[in-house]
Amino acid sequence: MSKKKVGVVCGGFSSEFEISILSGKTVFLNLDRDLFEVYLITIRPDLWTAVDDYKTSFKVSKGDFSLISDNHNVKLDVIFNMIHGAPGENGQLAALWELLKIPFSSCDSYNAALTFNKRDCLSVLRSWDVPTAKHFALNHGDPIDLIKIQKVVGLPCFVKANRAGSSYGVYRVNIKSELEPAILDAFREDHQLIIESALEGKEVSVGVAEFNNKITVLPITEVISENDFFDYAAKYEGKAQEITPAKIKESSKIEVEKWSRLIYKKLGLKGVVRSEFIFVDDIPHLLEINTVPGMTSKSIIPQQVSAMGIELSDFFSYLLQTALKQE
């Protein structure tokens, strides 16, 4: 049987470019060469390129996503999407791959766009009674009514870029004088913001994937940040303690697994997804959903896969084989 040609796509147009490169390299290095012929594709605003195991360089066609070199062209069988942020996590590239009928590892274009937009996603999930924080929506150019914002969400609160990841554009506000500067700083990342009440409690990160046509929750990770919240430094610079499996009550485990499965199913998600929750009075409140979660050596999903007793190469192979079946 011939090997399937896999494009591991990373990079992108957002502040998460470097993290995405690291995630992409993790996947590229761990894919089984007995099963797959692998190409590492880097997407930049002005240049799409690829390289194979033999250091052969390719240009990537923006028309049919084929790989072009001086000697030959490569038509990909499947995509492993590792772009955090635009254009990989927000549905833009997914729409292209759908049009070209190239299977890919992450969720479809509509659901990618929905989950990447924190405000829209939370609005949908509230219709299914998913517990969340109180929030206030603010767009660039809107009047900044500090009194109204405080009345809705209270203090402390979080000011967040509506369409960003890796905690870029996220600021914790403890006192009134910090609110407007945080808003102005967050607008540098996105012209849409979501301002949420700060939930106090145990934070957990929950990975979900589909195995053998069954929605499976990976071992849960408890996150204990050295900083005010699970920010970039906590995620990628070792400023957090991550305990997998989480030391939580069995009833709490059952409850957060229930909500994680429901969200995955209701939103029609695909591939591996990671959601963040905070327990308030033993009730897990959803913070956000990541449909292209990090895969660096410091990322949570690889820790959870290891806790399952599964090799990363086998896990990645399963995600690709599942994507190919959904072709």
Residue 206 pLDDT > 60: yes
Going by C-alpha positions, the residue among 44, 75, 70, 66 that lies closest to residue 57 is 70
Phi/psi of residue 126, nearest 5 degrees = -65, -25
Residue 229 pLDDT > 70: no
Residue 238 pLDDT > 70: no
Superfamily for domain range 135-197: ATP-grasp fold, A domain (3.30.1490.20)
Residue 171, C-beta contacts closer than 8 angstroms, at least 6 positions apart: 158, 159, 160, 178, 182, 185, 186
pLDDT at 169: 81
Task: Kindly state the tokens that stand for 25.
Answer: 């390299």
Quote the pTM value: 0.91
Phi/psi of residue 108, nearest 5 degrees = -70, 170
Count other Cβ atoms within 10 Å, centred on residue 267.
20
CATH class assigned to 4-106:
alpha beta
Residue 301, C-beta contacts closer than 8 angstroms, at least 6 positions apart: 207, 218, 272, 274, 293, 294, 295
45-92 pLDDT tens trace: 999 999 999 999 999 999 999 999 988 899 999 999 999 999 999 999
Q: Where are the domains of the chain?
A: 4-106, 114-131+200-325, 135-197
- DSSP alpha helix (H) spans, the chain: 17-30, 92-100, 109-116, 118-126, 146-153, 179-186, 232-236, 250-266, 300-307, 312-325
% of residues, the chain, pLDDT over 90: 86
17-28 pLDDT tens trace: 999 999 999 999
249-261 pLDDT tens trace: 999 999 999 999 9
Superfamily for domain range 114-131+200-325: ATP-grasp fold, B domain (3.30.470.20)
Residues comprising the chain, all counted: 327
Mean pLDDT of the chain: 93
- Top-confidence residue, 213 or 280: 280
pLDDT at 236: 46
Task: Kindly state the tokens that stand for 327.
Answer: 């072709």
